[in-house]
Amino acid sequence: MKKILGIILICTMIMGLMVGCGSTPTTQEEPNAEEKVVEEPKDEKIVIGFSQIGAESGWRTAETESVKKTCEEDPMIELKFSDAQQKQENQIKALRSFIAQEVDLIALAPVVESGWETVLGEAKDAGIPVILLDRQVSVADESLFTSFIGSDFVLEGENSAKYLIEKFGADTKVNIVELQGTVGASVANDRKKGFENIVNNNDNYKIIKSQSGDFTRAKGKEVMEAFLKAEGKKINALYAHNDDMALGAIQAIEEYGLVPGEDIVIVSIDGVKDAFLSIKEGKLNCTVECNPCLGPQLVKAAKDLKDGKTLPKWIKSEEDVYYGQKAIDAIPSRSY
């Protein structure tokens, strides 16, 4: 009997093992392939913090619009914009705000050339590249900024002087008054330097008055009034570091009783549309182009940096010199 019970128990155990081995473990059904949701990796936007000087001229406004428009139209770019209202302390605050927000890139149009080492050092320590727009900075360590996008300001000054010599001739005695840009700005320093590179090599050409008009039309008019009061009809030519100051000076010349463009030959820099219209009217003689539409170059530089590319230290703008019929023919194509 014991043997029979033992055999039955062993058989029962064997049958239990066989059932267990043959069963399929319960598993959670996988969803249908059509029901699976696959999340594609999203490209993060490149955040650019842009500190602009202000809106002192038509040229400056055109630059701001170029940057804003280019960034708005690119889905990969997010722009944080700050208007410094012509004050360096406002720009330094803006840069520190951008650093705190951990932007990917800082774009800076510096109001003056010096005084940037500390804040640019802070950006470097935070690993945020800085690109300068249209104006340079004076720093001992050039690694504090990644690249400069803008014009050759020295060449612009040289081209302005060359136009006057071509207009009057090298053997004519010419008294020149100069409306300088903002004191301490790299663009003003370089445009003055370039102009002097040419005229100082000719004893017949003399700068008899030179003063800052702060790149504004109102200040240009005010300073030109002072020049006329001091020198009057002795003035043969005016060299203005930008078109807005030249346009203000034209008002002063007309109010003084002289004919701008004839009694006083006027050359200025920037190439804003109002300058071209003034050339058509015969009041301005020449404008040396300085391209403000830097938005596309800035965005391209930002993308190149994200892709690990090395930027050139200077990304130059393409520009020309306009006067006479050439300037008149170009009016329909001017976008600023």
41-61 pLDDT per residue, tens: 456 899 999 999 999 888 999
Q: Distances from the Cα of 204 to the Cαs of 164, 200, 201, in angstroms?
A: 12, 9, 9
Bridge partner list, 267: 239, 286
User: What DSSP letter does each residue of 104-130 carry, written as one string?
Assistant: SEEEE--SSSSS-HHHHHHHHHTT--E
15 alpha carbon, distance to own chain's centre: 85
Tens of pLDDT along 71-91?
A: 999 999 999 999 999 999 999
pLDDT at 335: 80
Bridge partner list, 205: 174
Separation between Cα atoms, residue 280 and residue 187, nearest integer Å:
27
pLDDT at 180: 98
Separation between Cα atoms, residue 309 and residue 297, nearest integer Å:
14
Return the number of other C-beta atoms located less than 10 Å from residue 192's C-beta.
20
Whether the Cβ atoms of residue 131 and residue 298 lie closer than 8 Å to each other:
yes
Quote the percentage of the chain above a pLDDT of 70. Answer: 87
Tens of pLDDT along 136-183?
A: 999 999 999 999 999 999 999 999 999 999 999 999 999 999 999 999
Structural domains in the chain plus CATH codes:
46-150+292-317 (3.40.50.2300), 153-290 (3.40.50.2300)
Bridge partner list, 150: 316
Per DSSP (E only), the strands in 143-274 are 147-150, 174-180, 205-212, 237-240, 265-270
pLDDT at 61: 92
Over range 27-33, report the average pLDDT. 46
Structure-token pair, residue 186: 């790299």
Strands 321-323 and 286-289: antiparallel
Mean pLDDT over each residue of the chain, to the nearest integer: 90
Separation between Cα atoms, residue 2 and residue 152, nearest integer Å:
111
Structure-token pair, residue 78: 């997010």
- Binned at pLDDT 50, 70 and 90, residue 336 comes out as confident
Whether the Cβ atoms of residue 148 and residue 313 lie closer than 8 Å to each other:
yes
- Binned at pLDDT 50, 70 and 90, residue 31 comes out as very low
Return the number of other C-beta atoms located less than 10 Å from residue 144's C-beta.
18
CA atoms within 13 Å, Cβ hemisphere of 155: 11
Q: Which residues contact 186 (CB under 8 A, 6 or more apart)?
A: 110, 113, 135, 136, 137, 138, 153
pLDDT at 32: 52
Q: Is 91 exposed, middle or buried (0-12, 13-18, 19+ CB in 10 A)?
A: buried
